Amino acid sequence: MDREEIGTENILATLDVLLNLPSLKKSPQLSAFLSYVVRESLAGRGSLLKSYTIATDALGRSTSFDPATDAIVRVEARRLRQVLQQIYTDPACPLTVRIDLPLGRYEPSFRQLAPAAGASPAGPDESAPKDLLESEQRYRALVEASAAVEWRASPDGSLTQTFGLSARTGLCDTELQGLGWLSALHPDDRTRTEVVWRTCCQNGTPLEASFRVRHRDETYRWMLGRAVPLENVDGAIREWVGTMADIDEQIRAEEALRTSEERLRLAISAAEMMTWDVDPVSRQVTCSAIGNVLMGVTDGPLDEFLAMILPEDRPGVISVLEPALRGERPYDAQYRIVDHEGRVRWLSARGSLVPAPGGGTRLIGVACDITSRYPDPNLEGARLMSA
């Protein structure tokens, strides 16, 4: 049954009932989220619902909101789906219209509820325990296959059950229960992680935190902990369900990359080299700050940079630059320029065409001043080298 058959009045009446239930009434954010998406959908603007509009129109975020760095809409959408699921699965639920927030989109769906044909009022479906068991088995198998740790905690945050953590740490289940699991964390991470976890438990907000866990072999590995609260119909937290995923290789790779980039930056700075890149499509040039010293400019059209080269050297530079921009060979050239102070400088530049992070390609490279090699630059011709 679609929205027109159910009727706008019935949907709005259901919305009013939902907003007055304890689980939504105690959360202004969730209430504002649900009310906004329902009313926008009824107004015919459901397909226009995006993270930005929900954040700025319903959740109080400023117009500078960036969904790439602020996950509030995704987090609140997940919480809203959980609350609605709990409300409608309660046998005592009085509602005759179901409002859901489907996965993958923010436009709500509406469905008329009616007793199933032939349903027995005597009690729950006898097949439910079997279905629940199979669902639990599938979930466990998924956790094991992903090499993740699954855990559950009471409303106050005390660990009650784990799956896989004991095998990793060598601690028995009783040692891990309560807040005992904190003893397996690196000493430098314990206090910070405990504070974050207690704050989540007090506010009922999902957890996402990274920390180092001591394994059986006494080594520490980085883990990413995530958890979400499961609530009763009255809005009280029933339990926490979470996972820990091993992200040690990712963290170490990122650290190695940062170290490598810093070493490269220091080496380039010590050698007084200028880094540069050229967009083959727009033919725009971007240089590092030392470009101001060498040329008096750090960015601009390629033609402006070529105009700095002495006329007798320019054709040779272009003859190796154009093939490099097409990816046919690396760029390698030595030539003279007239800098912004009118002095003649010798530059040596090298570069290669590489894939750009956002698509396309960039010609990137380095350049340095080699004027000291030529006591009288006006007597020397350009030397151009192909790889």
**Which amino acid, one-letter code, is at 191?**
T
**Which amino acid, one-letter code, is at 107?**
E
CB 200 within 8 A of CB 207: yes
Mean pLDDT of 36-59: 91
* SS3 letters across the chain: CCHHHHCHHHHHHHHHHHHCCHHHHCCHHHHHHHHHHHHHHHCCCHHHCCHHHHHHHCCCCCCCCCCCCCCHHHHHHHHHHHHHHHHHHCCCCCCCEEEECCCCCCCCEEEECCCCCCCCCCCCCCCHHHHHHHHHHHHHHHHHHCCCEEEEECCCCCEEEEECHHHHHCCCHHHHCECHHHHHECHHHHHHHHHHHHHHHHHCCCEEEEEEEECCCCCEEEEEEEEEEEECCCCCEEEEEEEEEECHHHHHHHHHHHHHHHHHHHHHHHCCCEEEEECCCCCEEEECCCHHHHCCCCEEEHHHHHCCECCCCHHHHHHHHHHHHCCCCCEEEEEEEECCCCCEEEEEEEEEEEECCCCCEEEEEEEEECHHHCCCHHHCCCEECCC
pLDDT (0 to 100) of residue 258: 82
Q: Is pLDDT at 215 greater than 70 in this prediction?
A: yes
Q: pLDDT digit string (tens) for 155-211?
A: 999 999 888 888 889 898 889 999 999 999 999 999 999 999 999 999 888 999 999
Reference 151, options 248, 245, 240; nearest CA is 240
Q: Is pLDDT at 233 greater than 60 in this prediction?
A: yes
Residue ranges per structural domain of the chain:
3-112, 128-251, 271-384
pLDDT (0 to 100) of residue 382: 44
Q: Is pLDDT at 316 greater than 70 in this prediction?
A: yes
Q: Which residue, chain included where needed, has tokens 């028995």?
A: 172
Nearest-angstrom CA–CA distance, 331 and 365 = 8
For residue 235, the tally of other CB atoms under 10 A from its CB is 18
Q: pLDDT digit string (tens) for 10-23?
A: 999 999 999 989 88
Nearest-angstrom CA–CA distance, 154 and 229 = 10
CB 346 within 8 A of CB 374: yes
Q: pLDDT digit string (tens) for 335-344?
A: 999 888 888 9
Average pLDDT over all residues of the chain:
84
> What pLDDT band is residue 351 in, cutting at 50, 70 and 90?
very high
> ∠ CA(51), CA(53), CA(54), 5° rounding?
65
Mean pLDDT of 138-155: 67
Mean pLDDT of 349-355: 93
> What pLDDT band is residue 266 in, cutting at 50, 70 and 90?
confident
Phi first, then psi, for residue 351 (nearest 5°) are -165, 170
pLDDT (0 to 100) of residue 134: 56
Residues 6+ apart with CB under 8 A from 23: 83, 86, 87, 231, 232, 233, 234, 235
The pLDDT > 70 percentage for the chain reads: 85
Q: Which CATH superfamily is domain 128-251 in?
A: PAS domain (3.30.450.20)
Reference 223, options 175, 144, 162, 165; nearest CA is 165
Mean pLDDT of 52-78: 88
pLDDT (0 to 100) of residue 317: 94
Q: Is pLDDT at 246 greater than 80 in this prediction?
A: yes
Q: pLDDT digit string (tens) for 200-211?
A: 999 888 999 999
Q: pLDDT digit string (tens) for 85-113?
A: 888 888 878 888 999 998 878 999 998 88
- What global pTM score does this model have? 0.45
Q: pLDDT digit string (tens) for 285-294?
A: 999 888 888 8
Q: Which CATH superfamily is domain 271-384 in?
A: PAS domain (3.30.450.20)
Q: Is pLDDT at 378 greater than 70 in this prediction?
A: no
pLDDT (0 to 100) of residue 222: 93
